[in-house]
Amino acid sequence: MTKTENMVWNAEFSGDIEGAAVLVQANHDDVPDPAFGIEDGDFVILDGKTGATLHTIKTDGRSQYKLGHVATAAAIDVNGDGLAEVFAPSRDDHLRALDGATGELLWELDAYSTFHAAPIVVDFDEDGELELVSADVRGHLYVQDPLSGDILWGTKLEKGHVFAPLGWHPEARCLMVGTTQLVSVTMVSGEP
């Protein structure tokens, strides 16, 4: 903000916001709406004009760890309606796909462990269609159909503990995953 600008709005929450907000179009007003997770367990989508809460999605609390979202979500239009779907990883062992416009749960992955790394949406298998790629803390790597949530491919990394964001190198067509080592994964070999 410059000295002449005023704060547009301020929204407060009961827990920390540890991941970056992604911008979606939740109310069709052409103002981007922030969507993000809160460490206390909520995933929220706010009105970009006012800061009012448009949608709140709760975690279910089945994790051995504290509820909440610490990773950044991914948001991209995968169904062709012009509005982004949101892929929200959480510490309750779930990755949830949400309709960015309504907040409706589209599907959820019941994973082996919690999520700290942000998922990515890329054409991982070079078939012209996008895939959702994510990794849980214990090193399970998932490649999913972002529309249905079906697992297309997966593996368990030898040295788990994935906390860093996943990296994608489009020219080399490889995924980079950081654990206690850096692992490169391609669909050419299907091997980490």
Cα dist. 145→69, 78, 99 in Å?
A: 22, 10, 15
Residue 17: pLDDT band by 50, 70, 90 thresholds? confident
Look at the block and give the residue holding tokens 């994964």: 185
47, 20 in Cβ contact below 8 A?
Answer: no
Average pLDDT, the chain: 83
- State pLDDT tens for residues 81-101: 888 999 998 888 889 999 988
pLDDT tens profile 118-173: 899 998 888 889 999 998 888 888 999 999 999 998 888 877 677 666 777 777 77
Nearest Cα to Cα of residue 88 among 34, 127, 49: 34
Q: What is the pTM of this model?
A: 0.85
Report the distance separating Cα 144 and Cα 134, nearest Å. Answer: 8
Cα dihedral: 60, 65, 119, 43 (round 10): 40
| Percent of the chain residues past pLDDT 90, beyond the cut | 32
The C-alpha atoms of residue 51 and residue 12 are separated, in whole angstroms, by: 9
Count of positions (residues) in the chain? 192
What is the band of 7 on the pLDDT scale with cuts at 50, 70, 90?
Answer: confident
Helix or strand holding residue 122 (H, E): strand 120-122
Q: What is the pLDDT of residue 184?
A: 74
Does the pLDDT value for residue 18 go beyond 50? yes
Q: Give the side-chain half-sphere CA count within 13 A for 110.
A: 3
Residues 6+ apart with CB under 8 A from 191: 155, 185
Nearest to 164 by CA among 151, 176, 146, 154: 176
Q: Whole-angstrom Cα distance, residue 87 to residue 90? A: 10
pLDDT tens figures, 25-39: 888 888 999 999 888
Amino acid letter, residue 90: S
Side chain identity, residue 154: G
Check: CB of residue 24 under 8 Å from CB of residue 35: yes
Q: Give the Cα separation of 35 and 47 in Å (integer).
A: 9
22-185: CATH architecture = 7 Propeller (2.130)
